Structure 1
Amino acid sequence: MGRGADVQPGHLLARGVCRHLASHGFAVIEEFVPDRGLRVDVMALGPKGEIWIVECKSSRVDFQSDQKWEGYLDWCDRYFWAVDLEFPSELLPIETGLIIADGYDAEIVRMAPEDKLASARRSTLVRKFAMHAARRLHALRDPEAMLSAWA
């Protein structure tokens, strides 16, 4: 089997979302932890410093089992759901953004309303985003060094 054979549907959605946002100048991180107890599927840092969160839902059950999404609203300027074409998008709250995605690209169908973060929280998130991205890059370039750093 090929390397991508075990990729989950939500990961494919995230990949398409990340590709799309990157093509618009965003830096993106998958599975980012903005605060203890929270893990977002995609966090994106825009060219003007805006912070977006995108939660990828591959099925009705996946969406209905997500009880924490409203807690993510305090950690972004805009909040989106990313789903595929078959997802029943009428289930998604209308006051959030909507992205239709697949494993290769995405399209923003409904722009999320903007609710700007407080400057102190934005500053903290941008630093955390930068540290997280740098550590992931370092781990890719030198996996053994990262293992010893956390030992």
Structure 2
Amino acid sequence: MNIRRAISTSAVPLAAAIALIIPTAGAASATASTGCNASGPHNGCIRLFYNSNRAGSSTYFDANVSDLAGYTFLTSGTGKGNAVKNNAASALNDSPSMVTIYYNSGYVGACDTLSAYAISDQLHYTYNNDASFRWDYTRSDCYDF
């Protein structure tokens, strides 16, 4: 009985110590910037704009984003400093891969797909309702640009 108690009481601190030592893999995050990183994982970027017709402030991204919360429009112009999530009106896909923008976080909900190097002067299903995007995936019910 005493041996079991000794083992069980020492197991918790041991597990906590191991958790501190073993590194955990953090979630990959996209780089948001004022310019396109053509050497990124998709050999290009997506640029989301605050206004229609690719006007106002914008932000470039070089990797998938499952939740746009926390990202802001970075370039000068109307909308600079505002949240990107649920505020993008137009987009430019400056990459050789298609990219799909989703209404909800986690790549779900209504969607707009931009083919390689496509332009959307006004997003269709995700106009001011954009929460995530990812490359190289689309669905048949997405609006295609």
Tell me which interval the TM-score lies in, with the shorter structure as reference length: under 0.3
Say which structure is richer in strand. Answer: 2
The TM-score normalised by the length of structure 1 is: 0.27
The TM-score normalised by the length of structure 2 is: 0.28
Which of 1 and 2 has greater Rg? 2
